[in-house]
Amino acid sequence: MVKPANRVTPSSPIGGLAAPATVRPEPAARGPTAKQPDAFTQTAGGRRRQARATPEPQAPRDLDLTTPGSATAGFERLVTRVGETAARVLLAETLFRTPSVPTDVVGWLRERFTAGPNEQTALLGTIIAEATGGGTWVDIDGDGAPNEADVVVRDGRAAPVDPELRDRTRISAATVRAALAFNAMNHPYGPTKLNPSFWEPAMSRLERDGAFVEFAGPLVRESATAPDERSRGGVEGWHHYPQTFMVRPGVRPSDAVRDLFATRQTQECATAKHTIYLKSILDVIGPEDFDRAFDGLVLGPYAFNQHVSQYLTPASAAPHGHQGLLPGDAGYVANPDVSAEAEARRGPGENVVYIGGGRLVGHPIGVMSYSQIVDELASERRPDATQAPHMKDRLVLDPTRILAHDTIPGSAR
């Protein structure tokens, strides 16, 4: 079993980021040796004079980060001297040595180096800000993705992006995009019915192949016989089967998942959440790796999602609403005193995915704040209700387990 990755928390000096490496100058040479050229040249008159050595580019001590104006002028001088790429690296080193970076200079860094005001960089910036407790991502290398070459500034202190934050941000961004894409499809809500060109009911497969499905903790597995306490007289007793589907033989799991984001298909809220997670994993590791990892894919509610469940780490419930959730985390807003009519219409609560900025996505509730979801569910309680809707069952995608399947570089979108 792969050990789950630690969550990024603001408990470390820069919210889970690695401490910046100390930049130390190279020791000065102590005179010529057999392997070094003579530091003096001979003149025509036989006199020796000292030759001028060409110094290696160094971050100038006069790179003034006091104001955006002084920072701009100093950085442009540095670019002229050593070029854009080297100047960016030396700027990062200067930031690490700066005891406190002024707020307006942080704004200049974000505008100057974080590639363009587009949805992708805005999303990544939001994820990093929430994951680091208010840090600002500076895309030093300009590639549009957080990595170890970049800087995060929080409370005036700069540190490099560490691998844990890099991976978490990558997974979170893919999950948020998948959640918004799913919501935009406006899928009908109800008992799950998927495209028969890609999926077949699990009951049909199991009846045909003479196999049953039995519970195995959070997972499920096929078995030749059904346990007596579960069979209830045969396959018909398994009431979840009508909402559980398996990828048809000969169909690539990646194609089946993509079709869920291309055609409108009826789903209830738990299956919708699992669909979102499948798409986010597909977008991170690419179709070839996804097809290997999700061979024989099963999709449906709760325990029937062994393929999804193994990549989710249960976490303690958020202390208050969505507080403590990071973008890409999932939760369940329970409505314990729901009326019978509302429960029949859409269940006893709402599965949600947090997308940042205080917003959550649920099906069929759409994009709402936590307080809006609570108000919506509270309006559907029984007249004698005594319990308010509340968040529970928080889940976190495990980047370590997911990225272990990412064996083909560049295969993701």
pLDDT tens readout for residues 34-43: 444 444 344 4
Sign of CA dihedral 266, 271, 273, 277: negative
Higher pLDDT, 346 or 154: 154
Lowest-confidence segment of 55-59, 216-220, 281-285, 297-301 by average pLDDT: 216-220
Give pLDDT, residue 241. 52
pLDDT at 51 over 50: no
pLDDT in tens, 94-153: 999 999 999 999 999 988 998 666 788 899 999 999 999 999 999 999 899 999 999 999
Lowest-confidence segment of 234-243, 256-265, 272-281 by average pLDDT: 234-243
Residue 333: name the closest of 320, 396, 356, 344 by CA.
Answer: 320
- Average pLDDT score over residue span 308-334: 81
Rounded mean pLDDT of the chain? 79
Give pLDDT, residue 26. 44
Give pLDDT, residue 43. 45
pLDDT in tens, 151-197: 999 999 999 999 999 999 999 999 999 999 999 999 999 888 999 99
Give the angle subtended at the CA of 220 by the CAs of 217 and 297, to the nearest 5°: 140
Give pLDDT, residue 217. 31
Q: Are 402 and 280 in contact (CB under 8 A)?
A: no
Ranges of each domain in the chain: 61-161, 174-298, 313-397
Give pLDDT, residue 317. 59
Q: Are 357 and 158 in contact (CB under 8 A)?
A: no
Higher pLDDT, 397 or 196: 196
pLDDT band at residue 72, thresholds of 50, 70 and 90? very high
pLDDT at 392 over 70: yes
How far, CA to CA in Å, does 356 sit from each of 112, 157, 180, 327?
A: 24, 24, 12, 5
- Average pLDDT score over residue span 43-55: 48
Percent over 90 (pLDDT), the chain: 54
pLDDT band at residue 288, thresholds of 50, 70 and 90? very high
pLDDT at 21 over 70: no
Q: Report DSSP state, residue 4.
A: P
pLDDT in tens, 73-92: 999 999 999 999 999 999 99
Residue 220: name the closest of 275, 280, 299 by CA.
Answer: 299
Give pLDDT, residue 253. 96
Question: How far apart (Å, rounded) are the C-alpha atoms in residues 164 and 152?
Answer: 13
pLDDT at 246 over 80: yes
